[in-house]
């Protein structure tokens, strides 16, 4: 059953929320030991919330849009009194004193969070292998990664543990795992979904967004979590989420651009696999068959996204992660002086990838190098914004593959950070520009693993991505 079907059945009293939750908890208990999608299953809390929903239904009181729908929450979203680890040792034992706004909104909508899902430590990674609690595995083939960093949430939705999931996307962490796991994942426009209570990775890039097994559920989830939040200073005022309203609109007359540099064109990014490009081409043909006006388009600066991102993101991360000092949160390893205590805590608490990025970011920001590295990356970012603005004068949406390849084997890329970073080459541009983008499953690769196609739109045109995704889903 889809999330919307479950909610309708719970609201009408046809199904009890407690039964629904129990059924999903049973699945998790049976299968998650082999997948490791969850850092923590909050079974008791979920049962209590489901029982309260059932009581409200019996009493004829209103229940929310997602009444009784099980939800996976990425473990970098603050949950009051419930451990929030970011899959890092450094947050060991920490329990946030407040809920993230998305967590609150979804609870008010009746969604039942069944637990906190695994991620790459502090959301740094593309495979969920950089987790202090062991890797998550891909439900379609457990020898492969689910993608990352929201790999736990993606696996939860793909395995049928929960119809809905919440992730965060700084450089592709919703869309890339969605593609690898064969589910829908969407990164909203920067500022559309509140980040209050999201543990910060790179503050100028981070966005929270929806995961679901189908486009209609993802659109409904987006409509619930989007909208102004006074608790987030970067939150856009007056944004009206309308994703569900446009799902039937079709693409007749819509102008669709295929980004040459990110879709196998000459002079574009290397390493895009033939099977992924073939599915992308088929997706574009399906849009044309549905009436879209399709053309190839060049966005020259899109090839520079990866380089700019790996300066901006570590720079911001090195600053954000300075707060883990052994005093305020979680882990403390004692030392003779405060400085020694902080060093010992950070040495023991952070994993290799986190340390690598703190060093890269500190270096990129250091006196004497700041203009050459960080400053230059900001210029590239501005150039990309201008390039995309120009392209969106002629196109309503753009299409690319979500990822260069299908899901790879566990361990295949952990020894070489660069081969890991290349996973995000198609997703990063939308983070640097702050634009919305969705990944929708479109067939499988030569290895039988899911392929995702990405639809990009200009800022605040989030609904447009769902509209196109609905047509692609029907064609796939
Ligand atoms: N995989 C990218 C990285 O490692 C993106 C991470 C993210 O979006 N949180 O930084």
Same domain, 332 and 227: no
Q: Quick one: which of 280, 279, 282, 275 has its CA closest to 260?
A: 280
What average pLDDT does the structure give for the chain? 97
Give the per-residue pLDDT at 266. Answer: 87
Q: Is residue 378 part of a domain?
A: no
- Name the residue of 75, 86, 120, 321 to mutate for ligand 1: max ligand atoms within 8 A of Cβ: 120
- Shared-domain flag, residues 334 and 403: no
- Give the integer Cα–Cα distance in Å for 140 and 31: 13
**CA nearest ligand 1 atom 10, residue:** 124
> How long is the chain?
476
Could you give the CA distance from residue 281 to residue 275 in angstroms, rounded to a whole number?
10
If asked whether residues 322 and 337 sit together in one domain, one would say yes
Centre of ligand 1 to C-alpha 173, Å, is 5
117 is written with which tokens? 């899902």
Cα separation of the two ends of the chain: 19
Reported pTM: 0.98
CB of residue 201 inside a 6 A radius of ligand 1: yes
Give every CB contact of residue 304 below 8 A, 6+ residues apart in sequence.
380, 383, 384
Q: Of 196, 215, 245, which marks where a domain is finished? A: 245
Domain that holds residue 349: 308-372
Shared domain check, 156 and 60: yes
| Pure H helices in 164-273 | 175-181, 215-225
Domain limit, last residue, from 212, 245, 278: 245
Residues 465 and 317 in one domain: no
185/292 same-domain check: no
- Tell me if residue 376 is catalytic: no
| Shortest-distance atom of ligand 1 to CA 123 | 9
- Both 113 and 211 in one domain: the answer is yes
Q: How far is the CA of 427 from the centre of ligand 1 (A)?
A: 10
Q: DSSP code of 277?
A: H
148, 314, 316: residue to mutate for ligand 1 pocket, most atoms within 8 A of CB:
148
CATH code, domain carrying 65: 3.90.1300.10
Gap from CA of 310 to ligand 1 centroid (Å): 10
* Residue 414 sits in the same domain as residue 327: no
Choose one of 227, 245, 263: the last residue of a domain.
245
Ligand 1, residue 173: give the atom nearest the CA: 8
> Hey, whose CA ends up nearest to atom 5 of ligand 1?
171
Main-chain dihedrals φ then ψ at residue 115, nearest 5 degrees: 160, 180
86 and 229, same domain (yes or no): yes
β-pair type (293-297, 184-187): unpaired
Any catalytic annotation for residue 194? no
Q: Is residue 250 part of a domain?
A: no
- Residue 365's pLDDT is 93
pLDDT tens, residue by residue, 233-276: 999 999 999 999 999 999 999 999 999 999 998 889 999 999 99
For the Cβ of 91 lying below 6 angstroms from any atom of ligand 1, the answer is no
Q: For 140-171, write each residue's pLDDT tens digit.
A: 999 999 999 999 999 999 999 999 999 999 99
DSSP tag of 441: E
Residue 177 lies in a domain: yes
Q: Is 316 in the pocket of ligand 1 (CB under 6 A)?
A: no
The tokens describing 33, both together, are 């030991």
b or e along 177-189 (b: 16 or more beta carbons within 10 Å of the residue's beta carbon)? bbbbbbbbbbbbb
From the CB of 171, is ligand 1 less than 6 Å away?
yes
In the prediction, which pLDDT does 112 show? 98
74 is catalytic: yes
Q: What are the residue ranges in the chain where pLDDT is below 70? A: none
Task: Judge if the beta carbon of residue 170 lies within 6 A of ligand 1.
Answer: yes
Among residues 87, 88, 131, 173, the one annotated as catalytic is: 173
Query: What is the count of structural domains for the chain?
Result: 3
User: What's the gap in Å between 148 CA and the centre of ligand 1?
Assistant: 7
126 lines ligand 1 (CB under 6 A): yes
Residues 124 and 268 in one domain: no
Same domain, 169 and 189: yes
Catalytic residue selected from 149, 156, 302, 460:
149
CB of 150 closer than 6 angstroms to any ligand 1 atom: no
CA distance 100 to 79: 6
Ligand 1, atom nearest to 310 Cα: 10
Instruction: Tell how far CA 222 is from the center of its chain.
Output: 12
Asked whether residue 332 is domain-assigned, the answer is yes
Same domain assignment for residues 332 and 359: yes
Task: For 185-224, write each residue's pLDDT tens digit.
Answer: 999 999 999 999 999 999 999 999 999 999 999 999 999 9
């Amino acid at each position: 059953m889809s999330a919307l079907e479950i909610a309708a059945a719970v609201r009408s009293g046809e199904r009890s929320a407690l039964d629904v939750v129990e059924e999903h908890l049973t699945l998790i208990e049976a299968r998650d030991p082999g997948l490791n999608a969850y850092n923590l299953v909050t079974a008791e809390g979920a049962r209590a919330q489901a029982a309260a929903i059932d009581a409200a239904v019996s009493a004829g009181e209103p229940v929310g849009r997602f009444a009784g729908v099980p939800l996976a929450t990425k473990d970098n979203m603050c949950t009051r009194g419930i451990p929030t680890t970011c899959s890092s040792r450094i947050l060991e034992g920490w329990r946030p004193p407040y809920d993230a706004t998305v967590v609150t909104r979804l609870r008010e909508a009746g969604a039942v969070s069944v637990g906190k899902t695994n991620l790459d430590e502090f959301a740094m990674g593309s495979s969920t292998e950089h987790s202090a609690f062991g890797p998550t595995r891909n439900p379609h083939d457990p020898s492969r990664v689910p993608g990352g960093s929201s790999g736990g949430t993606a696996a939860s939705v793909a395995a049928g543990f929960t119809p809905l999931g919440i992730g965060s996307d700084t450089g592709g962490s919703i869309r890339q795992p969605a593609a690898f796991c064969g589910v829908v994942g969407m990164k909203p426009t920067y500022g559309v979904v509140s980040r209050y209570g999201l543990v910060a990775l790179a503050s100028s890039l981070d966005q929270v967004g929806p995961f679901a097994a189908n486009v209609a559920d993802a659109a409904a989830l987006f409509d619930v979590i989007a909208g102004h939040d006074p608790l987030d200073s970067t939150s856009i005022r007056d944004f009206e989420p309308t994703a569900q309203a446009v799902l039937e609109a079709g693409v007749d007359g819509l102008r669709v651009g295929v980004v040459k540099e990110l879709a196998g064109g000459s002079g574009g990014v290397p390493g895009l696999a033939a099977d992924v490009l073939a599915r992308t081409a088929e997706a574009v043909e399906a849009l044309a068959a549905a009436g879209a006006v399709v053309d190839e388009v060049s966005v020259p600066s899109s090839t520079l996204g990866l380089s700019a991102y790996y300066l901006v993101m570590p720079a911001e991360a090195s600053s954000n992660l300075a707060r883990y000092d052994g005093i305020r949160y979680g882990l403390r390893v004692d030392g003779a002086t405060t400085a020694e205590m902080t060093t010992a805590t950070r040495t023991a608490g952070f994993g290799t990838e986190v340390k690598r990025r703190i060093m890269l970011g500190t270096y990129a920001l250091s006196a004497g190098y700041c203009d050459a590295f960080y400053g230059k990356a900001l210029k590239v970012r501005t150039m990309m914004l201008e390039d995309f603005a120009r392209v969106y004068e002629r196109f309503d949406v753009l299409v690319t593959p979500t990822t260069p390849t299908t899901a790879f084997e566990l361990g295949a890329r952990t020894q070489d950070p660069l081969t890991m970073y290349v996973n995000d080459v198609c997703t990063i541009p939308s983070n640097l520009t702050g634009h919305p983008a969705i990944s929708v499953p479109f067939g499988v690769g030569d290895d039988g693993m899911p392929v995702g196609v990405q639809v990009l739109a200009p800022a605040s045109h989030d609904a447009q991505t769902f509209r196109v995704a609905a047509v692609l889903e029907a064609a796939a």
